[in-house]
Structure 1
Amino acid sequence: MSIEYIWEVKAKNTPLLKKKCSHCDSERFHCSDKFRLNAQKKNIDIWLIYRCVKCNNRYNMTLFSKIRTESISKELFNKLSENDAGLAWEYAFSHEMRRRNNAEVDLDSVEYEIRYDEISVEELMHTDNEMITFKINCPFDFNLKMSTVIRSCLQISSSKLNQLIESESIFVHDRLLQKKHKIKNGDLIRINKEKLIHVRLNENNISNLVK
């Protein structure tokens, strides 16, 4: 029976907006997780509010401009009215919204944590499958390298990961892993079990020698 391990990548904050503040020397704004709505007759404007990291000056990023109120679902309108933080994060991470506003964000400002179950060499040895499968759960895209996630979750060095890549032992959606690959929600990673055991054993032996 095939076992699929889950790697969950959780962002701790939204990306900072790269923008010069008109009130101070700051060039970064943070998402406030709040919306501004302005209704005029049957039309409505909606913005996501950002604040300068230094002086708290406000910047409004346009989400909807002069759209008919009936074109927004009741569920979405309620979330906007109640400043739903989950919805604010969706817009703050949205490449499409940044494109519409000609805005740039600092993706390196996103802090994250990776939740995973450690897999011992012994556990790998008792697995019948030729390939070990891992699934990425990462609802927000912030250009995190796949290699970083793999090294963290499998606890292997960059050199050992390179060995796996060069021996064509890692696949993402049945295509060979490229070093430049960035993670996407739902990515399926398959790694050759025997090759993984080999590098893990070598890694452990080296660690023991160092000790």
Structure 2
Amino acid sequence: MSNKSQSPRYDEQDYELNLVVGSIFTVTPQEDRAAFESEREWVQEIQDLLRSEEIIIDLMANPGTNIWEGGIRHGVDLDRLCLVAAYLENGMDFQSILNRPSKEEDDVDPLLEQIWEDEIDTQFPHLIKHQAIDGYYLPIDFPEPIWFLPEADAEGEDPDEDDVELFSFGSAPALLRELHMLRGLMQQFDVSPKHATMKCLNSLMEGAQMSVNTDLPMLIW
């Protein structure tokens, strides 16, 4: 689910990834009762799943609220920010990552795959181990991102791969700490504040700070 039905302040064409701080609901009961009820069931299910992971938060409040909007110019900028973080914490040279063309798609780096598979620990779990599209950051603290996968059906068979929907929930306060740490490391290596990866970091940091300040989730879509 995304907040694509809301009217942003910025030109959506400027961003491949949009950041929104506000309610998970995209409509209010006054705007569209049927759509709201459909979303309400989904939000309640997500809230119950989070509670089962001991993440207690009220996602039902303030439907349709939209506090802040921002964005990331290219999706690859976020991918490379994650890769820079992984290289830095493992003492690897990351300059070649910064020198790649801004719109060039990258192959998945083996180091990131090892982190995703929990073969290597990371100081940046809420940045690296979180879903880049349709992922949520919640304004409460918890150690690792929470992923929800569809359960096998009643006959014990896994759902069709094309129908699989994954949802990940990270912690906005934890992400904020990670980004502060990462920005300091990048500044030590004189990464320009105008570089796409640094702009991406600053956009994420602004959204995470707004999430913490307003006690509302941040969505990336």
Fold match (TM-score > 0.5)? no
Q: Which has the larger radius of gyration?
A: 1
Structure with the bigger percentage of helix: 2
- The alignment's TM-score, normalised by the length of structure 1, stands at 0.22
- The alignment's TM-score, normalised by the length of structure 2, stands at 0.21
Structure with the bigger percentage of strand: 1
Tell me which of the two structures has the higher relative contact order, counting C-alpha pairs closer than 8 angstroms and 6 or more residues apart.
2
